[in-house]
Amino acid sequence: MGSYNPKVSLELAHCWATLEEDKMSLPQWDLIVNGCANSTDPHPVIFHSVLPKGRDHYPSSFKRFEVPMFAFAEDKDNLNRQVFVHCEVVICDVRNPVDVQCSDQDKTMKGQKLAVSDDPGFKSVTSGPIIIMRS
C-alpha cells in the first residue's frame, strides 16, 4: 500500500478471486478468510515470508501468498482465462501484537489496527489480470 514505515504491518483479512476486475462480480472463490487460508479449499493458499531485500526494505508492509491450483467450475470450457485477486487489508501497529491463530497452519497476524487511523475499516486492493496457464 506504499508504506515505508517499519512500525506498521499490512495484514490480509479476506482475499478472493473473480473472473472480472469488479470485486463484486460472480463467481467468487475465497482464498483467505479472517487472515487464514480458506479451510474449505482442497488446495489452500501457501503464505510466503517476505525478507528485507530489494524493494522490500520493510517486509511487514508486503504480503506474499501462492495459489497452488485454481479453476472456477463454471469456467471448465476455458481454463486459460484470467482471474483477479481482491483483498481486504488492514494496517496494524506491530508494537501491539495480537495473535490470530489458524487451525491448520502457522499463520499469525502481527499487530492490531492503528488507533490513530481516521478510517478504522479495511482497504481494498486488486491484483490482475492474472493469466492461468495449463501445464
CATH code (residue 45): 2.60.40.4100
Does 3 fall in a domain?
no
Coil, helix or strand for 60? helix
Task: Write out residues in the chain with pLDDT < 70, as ranges.
Answer: 1-4, 54-57, 74-80, 96-121, 134-135
Q: What is the pLDDT of residues 88-110, one digit of tens each?
A: 888 777 776 555 556 544 444 44
Residue listed under C-alpha cell 503464505: 47
Number of folded domains in the chain?
1
List, for residues 40-52, the tens digit of each pLDDT value.
Answer: 999 999 999 888 7
Neighbours of 51 (CB within 10 A): 9
The predicted pLDDT at position 120 comes to: 52
pTM equals 0.76
- Which residue segment(s) compose the domain that 76 sits in? 8-132
